[in-house]
């Protein structure tokens, strides 16, 4: 696979996470204001709900609406839990992507070195010239905090008793904290890391040429047995499969280039 294909996967992951968060956020527009005493609406003016919703729409430009059943929203935090869960899902996805990028950027000589991370500080305090993946580590820590916040929201959600959940303050505190640190963390990551990532072209080319996995690519054209034999000989001799296939007359060089180009176009 190419780096472009790899990053296209990351892009789709982020897009899907954003869509799920947006869908969960829509459900937060349903408000329990006016429920007062456990949903009965006692001691609230008859038009309180109507006027508050109207004013909130004007002030926020959000399509907020009153809950059809106030007894429901006085005790159930399900919509807030769903929103928190989607923030956690994003944090889990970002953690995985950050870990991938840290591996891909490791090196330059004793790691993978498939990508080059931009330097955002003078270097390591103990290793001169080393580029530390500090923005990835920063976003990892943000994600860990968001995952912890989600646990707090979950525990607070089930802590309500009968018709009232008195744990709403800690739920809101953690949700706002998650939104705040994710927003800032992602913005800093994009600005100071993502846009500056470049491909380690020579290292990627070397990996492709030396990969025994090329036998899998050639398999549909030369059959499983010949592909397996090439892989075994490459492993034993240290030669690459590309060279062996041409040397043995199994595949012409032009045909190999055509095969590889076709494979690399898939999913681009």
In this structure, what CATH number is given to the domain that contains residue 178? 1.20.200.10
Q: What domain count does the chain have? A: 2
> What is the CATH number for 248?
1.10.40.30
CB neighbours of 37 closer than 8 A, spacing ≥ 6?
A: 43
- Is 64 within a domain? no
d(CA 114, CA 117): 10
Could you tell me the residue range of the domain that residue 13 belongs to? 3-23+76-199
d(CA 102, CA 106): 6
Tell me: the pLDDT tens digits for 169-187? 999 999 999 999 999 999 9
- Residue 198: phi and psi, rounded to 5, are -130, 160
- Is 188 within a domain? yes
Residues 133, 254 share a domain: no
Residues 101, 134 share a domain: yes
pLDDT of residue 268 exceeding 60, the answer is no
129-159 burial, b at 16+ Cβ within 10 Å, e below that, comes to: eebbbebbebbbebbebbbebbebbbebbee
- DSSP 8-state class, residue 109: S
Residues 229, 180 share a domain: no
Tell me: the pLDDT tens digits for 188-219? 999 999 999 999 988 888 888 788 888 888 88
Considering the candidates 106, 124, 157, 187, report the single residue annotated as catalytic: 124
Residues 217, 181 share a domain: no
85-104 burial, b at 16+ Cβ within 10 Å, e below that, comes to: bbbbbbbebbbebbebbbeb
Give me Rg for the CA atoms of the chain.
27
Predicted TM-score (pTM) of the model is 0.85
Tell me: the pLDDT tens digits for 135-172? 999 999 999 999 999 999 999 999 988 888 899 999 99
84: its two tokens: 């928190």
Residues 138, 167 share a domain: yes
Check if 124 is active-site: yes
- Is 261 within a domain? yes
- The H-assigned helical ranges of 105-237 are 134-157, 168-192, 201-210, 214-222, 224-237
Residues 164, 128 share a domain: yes
Domain end call among 170, 199, 228 = 199
């Amino acid at each position: 696979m190419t780096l472009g294909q790899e990053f296209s996967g990351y892009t789709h992951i982020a897009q899907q996470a954003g869509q799920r968060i947006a869908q969960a956020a829509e459900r937060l527009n349903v408000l329990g204001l006016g429920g007062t005493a456990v949903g009965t609406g006692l001691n609230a003016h008859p038009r309180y709900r109507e006027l508050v919703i109207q004013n909130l729409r004007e002030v926020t430009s959000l399509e907020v609406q009153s809950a059809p059943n106030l007894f429901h929203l006085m005790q159930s935090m399900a919509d807030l839990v769903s929103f928190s869960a989607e923030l956690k899902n994003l944090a889990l996805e970002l953690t995985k992507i950050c870990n991938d990028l840290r591996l891909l950027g490791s090196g330059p000589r004793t790691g993978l070195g498939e990508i080059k991370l931009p330097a955002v500080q003078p270097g390591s305090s103990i290793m001169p010239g080393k580029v530390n993946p500090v923005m990835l580590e920063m976003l990892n820590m943000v994600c860990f905090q968001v995952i912890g916040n989600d646990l707090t929201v979950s525990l607070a959600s089930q802590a309500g008793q009968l018709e009232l959940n008195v744990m709403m303050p800690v739920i809101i505190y953690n949700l706002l904290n998650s939104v705040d640190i994710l927003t800032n963390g992602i913005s800093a990551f994009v600005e100071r890391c993502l846009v500056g990532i470049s491909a380690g072209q020579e290292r990627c080319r070397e990996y492709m040429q030396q990969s025994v996995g090329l036998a899998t690519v050639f398999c549909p054209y030369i059959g499983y047995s010949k592909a397996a034999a090439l892989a075994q000989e490459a492993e034993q001799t240290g030669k690459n499969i590309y060279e062996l296939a041409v040397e043995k007359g199994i595949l012409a060089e032009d045909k190999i280039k055509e095969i590889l180009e076709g494979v690399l176009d898939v999913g681009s």
